[in-house]
Structure 1
């Protein structure tokens, strides 16, 4: 056109400040902050899509977790834990809200049944006693029940919106079964896992947090409690329990760490795709092979005790007489008469699972022939005792999981991966106001 009108040329809009042309974050290595900021400040409460999380909610959930650590948390760890508790409550709220929007209702009876199970399995208490106990530590039954409600709601939601779209073909399961048969005799691990998601930007902070968790676990912190509060995997609801897994089913870094570990050992933080994992070996066994520790034993315990203040020399002399007496016992039929001669007590148990014995005793007991006894063990304070093997029922060969069991295991693994993405999407779309 020649009329002098300036026609604008269409150009692509510039990328937002702080991003490159591909939308990736382009952050300065030495940022200068404008305004005052306290890096130790933690928001006390939040409103999640219009639903309030109160300071009491945070206090009671914090008390529930802090108690599991027997007061071993430093001030810095307490601050970090309160921030984590708030994040957990936000996620829990998002999960409950999403379940409600999907017309999923969690009945009170279902929550009460899970609460009763937790009371019995974890604390050996009935529900009423657990309610009272929670009040004494600054928490409440309502706080724990809300956590349980969130877990149940999320499980129901995954069954409705995720599980139907997970497909594990028969061919995949058969291939896995064939691989297991080929791996017969190799090791299988019963693992617990705490998974912390991380992006490239959050990796340093998440790694530091994971390292602190490992430190607390090594000091005696409850793995199950930490998994329930911190883990971002769906197994958090069961204390991080992954069940029995072969190394080939695990991500390479976790498999490499677990291969040299034994029951009761901890490893991490381990960098895995999408974040960091902390793993705990609950137990290990050989694939499709009978585990001697599953043997059912018939034992007689013969023990002597010492009067408080007994001199070491006198105790040693009596212990020597006791050891000689045990050597002369030939079979469990002679135990009661021999014990009576030196004032020893006898306790019999015909249904002891070898794996339930202290680890230090398992190997010794399993090497005994019927009628043989362990060497004497104990102390002046606790008394001296021996265990006599009276019978042993060896376990049957484990034929491994069935087709259906393995298919369920593979489906659960895929549901877990989808669940992590689902929750990330809920966080991204949420409207959260901090107070």
Structure 2
């Protein structure tokens, strides 16, 4: 919950300070969207009076045997507005209401599921610690933090209930799926390999908001909601806080942080938008099948100019004019030992048999290698040993012992593993939530 806590604290810090730094758009933004500067650096305007929501106080929906009332929904809408700094308007109020109702339904289902685990109880002290940490990050005390919410018509119990459920749910998902979310060494190696190979392509550091059409009532509703969110962010609502509350993308808990995205790995429509966005710019809504994206371009970088590879070799010397029979004999000898060779033993094996030469070629730019070596250096999997390769000097077996992009820091294996674990856990948590929804009896009362 750490990242979400920080963004919530940052959002409320701006409101508590009552500051109003400019966050404006050009008069005629380009089609891809040259809309606003870095949202996280621009706090919103001072808070306005609590909006008045016209809705019945009675039961609006039931989730199994739990009811959601008009009062519950108003409270959640007020909290959503406080956290995101999205100012309610006639146009965006339906989207805020729908998002708040969806959140309440999910929360009711989570509470009901948590009740099945008697040993999973979140104490008042844990909730108090979380509120104190949120307040500290907002630059105030817990008392002032809660008082601010009360001034906006939000009961402290509303925030406490949400925090208690979030902590419990994260503990449940983490405990239940931790073993299934673990990442194998092969998966880490594959991810690092992909990152190294992708380093030669253009890359984009983006924030994303994805409005799921199925969740908000159709593609047109998603488009309308996305337009409203873009307007609100141009006027000052922080991108990360809006992403946390409104986005259906896996990156939502991280404030929409999608990390570095490699050219050609996203939907062509998104790729076209990213190519046109400058650093610090926010896109217009980008419709795709099933929903709408909003992209914030945090940074861009060109692909690495060089690809570095670490090689070791074992070889049989053969003159350029060697006969076909000599080449065939050397090839058969190398092929017979190739399955036994690794990066760790290839040099030892070379010194243990007469007629074999071994060498650690170190780390080299692929473009500077002998032409016969370049294909192996570019395409062979790390840790593998090639088939015999002929050069004017002889016949070689090449062990590819490492590969990275020059000019870009090589990915850290532990960081890659942790990121993959978080992704796996988030995916399993979303499936868990989807299954609970599918099995639940959710009824909306007339007029909702």
Q: TM-score range by the shorter chain?
A: 0.5 to 0.7
Which residue of structure 2 lines up, in the alignment, with residue 208 of structure 1?
Answer: 224
Q: How well do the aligned residues superpose, as a CA RMSD in angstroms?
A: 3.5
The answer to whether the Cα contact below 8 Å between 1:65 and 1:225 also exists between their aligned partners in 2 is: no
Which residue of structure 1 lines up, in the alignment, with residue 421 of structure 2?
Answer: 411
Distance 1:52 1:172, change over 3 A: same
CA shift at 1:247, angstroms?
4.6
Which residue of structure 1 lines up, in the alignment, with residue 367 of structure 2?
Answer: none
Distance 1:196 1:46, change over 3 A: same
Stretch of structure 1 that moved more, 173-182 or 196-205: 196-205
**3-state DSSP class of the match of 2:190?**
helix
1:401 matched to 2:411: yes
Q: 1:232 aligns with which of 236, 248, 269?
A: 248
Alignment partners' CA distance in 1, 2:301 and 2:256: 19
The answer to whether the Cα contact below 8 Å between 2:199 and 2:303 also exists between their aligned partners in 1 is: yes
Q: 1:241 aligns with which of 208, 233, 257?
A: 257
Alignment partners' CA distance in 2, 1:134 and 1:99: 27
1:99 matched to 2:114: yes
1:220 matched to 2:236: yes
CA offset digits 1:182-209 (Å, max 9, x no partner): 4447555443322232349833333332
Unpaired runs of at least 5, structure 1: 1-39, 290-396
CA shift at 1:240, angstroms?
2.6
CA offset digits 1:230-277 (Å, max 9, x no partner): 223454334333345545665554444334433322225334565333
The answer to whether the Cα contact below 8 Å between 1:69 and 1:220 also exists between their aligned partners in 2 is: no
Which residue of structure 2 lines up, in the alignment, with residue 194 of structure 1?
Answer: 209
**3-state DSSP class of the match of 1:75?**
coil
CA shift at 1:136, angstroms?
0.7
Alignment partners' CA distance in 1, 2:260 and 2:126: 27
CA shift at 1:144, angstroms?
2.1
Alignment partners' CA distance in 1, 2:303 and 2:136: 32
The answer to whether the Cα contact below 8 Å between 2:86 and 2:242 also exists between their aligned partners in 1 is: no
- With normalisation by structure 2, the TM-score equals 0.55
Which residue of structure 1 lines up, in the alignment, with residue 124 of structure 2?
Answer: 108
Which residue of structure 2 lines up, in the alignment, with residue 15 of structure 1?
Answer: none
Unpaired runs of at least 5, structure 2: 1-53, 306-406
Structure 1 residues 32-43: aligned runs within 5 Å: none
Q: 1:164 aligns with which of 158, 176, 179?
A: 179
Distance 1:284 1:92, change over 3 A: farther
Q: 2:169 aligns with which of 135, 148, 154?
A: 154
Structure 1 residues 8-407: aligned runs within 5 Å: 45-67=60-82, 72-103=87-118, 104-121=120-137, 123-166=138-181, 168-184=183-199, 188-199=203-214, 202-247=218-263, 250=266, 253-272=269-288, 274-284=290-300, 399-407=409-417
Alignment partners' CA distance in 1, 2:167 and 2:247: 16
Which residue of structure 2 lines up, in the alignment, with residue 425 of structure 1?
Answer: 435
> Number of residues paired by the alignment?
288
**3-state DSSP class of the match of 1:45?**
strand
The answer to whether the Cα contact below 8 Å between 1:247 and 1:259 also exists between their aligned partners in 2 is: no
CA offset digits 1:142-167 (Å, max 9, x no partner): 22232223332332232233443235
Alignment partners' CA distance in 2, 1:256 and 1:160: 41
CA offset digits 1:96-151 (Å, max 9, x no partner): 32233245333333333332232233x32221110111111111332223222333
Alignment partners' CA distance in 2, 1:95 and 1:239: 21
Distance 1:83 1:275, change over 3 A: closer
Larger relative contact order (CA 8 Å, sep ≥ 6): 2
Which residue of structure 2 lines up, in the alignment, with residue 14 of structure 1?
Answer: none
Alignment partners' CA distance in 1, 2:122 and 2:260: 30
The answer to whether the Cα contact below 8 Å between 1:130 and 1:141 also exists between their aligned partners in 2 is: no
Alignment partners' CA distance in 1, 2:195 and 2:133: 34
Alignment partners' CA distance in 2, 1:109 and 1:288: 50
CA shift at 1:86, angstroms?
1.6
The answer to whether the Cα contact below 8 Å between 1:193 and 1:277 also exists between their aligned partners in 2 is: yes
The answer to whether the Cα contact below 8 Å between 2:223 and 2:285 also exists between their aligned partners in 1 is: yes
